[in-house]
Amino acid sequence: MRTAESNRLAHALERVRREIREHMRYLDKRIRELDRELHDRLRGSPLWRDKDDLLRSIPGVGPVLSTTLLAMYQSSARCGTSRSRRWSAWRR
């Protein structure tokens, strides 16, 4: 949504640009809040913190990739999909 608003801003009439900028500021704020909440939950759980630390020990894996992988893992594990079976070796 943030990208869509940025694209809209580039082509918007002057009279609506202020509203789009306000919406983008709101989206930026919410993204920061959600990132912080996700980080706090991840680091607040010993199990997820260990998995995060393990992933980050791999060269090239930083906080964004690690959080993305853990969120994907959590989502697939909850759904019981075939994707979760692919993660089964890693989660043990």
The 10s digit of each residue's pLDDT in 9-55 is 999 999 999 999 999 999 999 999 999 998 898 889 999 999 999 99
What pLDDT sits at residue 87? 57
Single pTM value for the model: 0.67
Cα-Cα-Cα-Cα torsion 21, 9, 17, 35, nearest 10 degrees, comes to -10
Does the pLDDT at position 86 exceed 70?
A: no
What CA–CA distance (Å, rounded) separates 79 from 92?
A: 18
Instruction: Using the predicted structure, report yes or no on whether residue 73 has a pLDDT greater than 90.
Output: no
CA dihedral 52, 57, 61, 64 (to 10 degrees): 30
Q: Where are the domains of the chain?
A: 1-44
pLDDT, the chain, mean:
86
